[in-house]
Amino acid sequence: MDSTRFELINLREIDPTILIDAAYARADTFVGFTVYPVNELFLMKPAAERLARAQRRLQALGLGLKCWDAYRPLSLQKILWKHVLDERYIANPATGSRHNRGCAVDVTLVDREGHELPMPTPYLEFSERAHRDWHSLPPGTARNRQTLEDAMVAEGFIPLPEEWWHFDAPEWERYPVLDINPYGKDYRI
């Protein structure tokens, strides 16, 4: 497959004000080891542009985005699937995920200083409390979840019902599942 047909954009280049905290660039996730070699994340250009517009919406409210994951190589999807065999939370690598297409992001809200605002669960808590229809929340937490969703939906993102942090770009079907390396020649999973 000719990966040059697909324009994965480094999120720092599209909008340097979006905080990047690439979860899989750390060893403290459920996989237990570092996968990404650097704290950088990528999206297909149309999805990245949508994310930058959502960031501008939130900045007008004195808020911003922190992004934990975006494009995810299929080889990483296979590793995640071995740890969480539940298609509500991890897409089966046999069909691939929208992350594998560079059209999904995992994000949260931050204040002007970059501090995360209270949300229903920690990132990557795969439980019903992470579902968008979970309503046993303090009012401020429910408001934060809704503010995030409103900003993302206003830019065309589609929320995943089972994860408050996950949003899909509507153009995801235009892109195939990819297992390309956006990090440079020394990166291997």
Q: Is the dihedral of CA 19, 149, 53, 102 positive or negative?
A: positive
d(CA 120, CA 35): 26
d(CA 59, CA 51): 12
Q: Which two tokens stand for residue 75?
A: 């080889």
Taking 90 as the threshold, does the pLDDT of residue 89 lie above it? no
Mean pLDDT along residues 105-125: 97
Taking 70 as the threshold, does the pLDDT of residue 186 lie above it? no
Confidence at 1, pLDDT banded by 50, 70, 90 = very low
pTM for the model: 0.91
What domains lie within the chain, and their CATH numbers? 3-174 (3.30.1380.10)
Taking 70 as the threshold, does the pLDDT of residue 187 lie above it? no
Q: Compute the radius of gyration of the chain from its Cα atoms.
A: 16
- Helix/strand/coil for 19: strand
Mean pLDDT along residues 135-162: 97
Tell me, what's the pLDDT at 114? Answer: 97
